[in-house]
Structure 1
Amino acid sequence: MGLGLPMTTRTERTGELLRSGRFPLPAARNRLRGIVTDVVRDGVMAQMESTTGPYRVVSLMSREATDQLELQVGVLAEAMIKSTDVVVERHAAG
């Protein structure tokens, strides 16, 4: 699971990064900076919506992550998008 390394190796590597202050950059290629326009939280999950230029970005995440990031309407946030999912569109007949 994870990096293909034993848990002790991953833990040691994380410790090294924390001590050095150097962190690897996320591999996400698409970064969209925008303003948070809505946050809806429930017991476990949360939905965050932001506006980036003419685009609307909606993200589902754990409530814990939303709370840790202190996401609320009006704050600046950056959505990093890395996906292997397929987008399904529906076109009108004719």
Structure 2
Amino acid sequence: MNSKKEINLHFPIQLDGKKINKLTMRRPTVRDRLLAAKDEGASPDEVEVKMFAILMDIPEENLHDMDLLDYEQCARAVNDFLKKPGSQSGT
């Protein structure tokens, strides 16, 4: 069972003034979901962005300008983590 996934970005993002081509996402926990949903009145999309930021240990703001193709790779990575072991696909 993989505890981390590397996400190769088609469109690099800026992080601390550097161009980033690859992000690493770790497996989500219940605590991560609770932290992401903590902001009262946040939309499901805002909660998802916060969750991805937590899992990749980057500021949310860095995800706001991420290309949607790369964002969808992040969503697939989370979905893969939620599958039974042995049925995960490569990202």
Max Rg structure? 1
TM-score scaled by length of structure 1: 0.25
Structure of higher RCO (CA pairs closer than 8 Å, 6+ residues apart):
2
Higher strand share: 1
Taking structure 2 as the reference length, the TM-score comes to 0.26
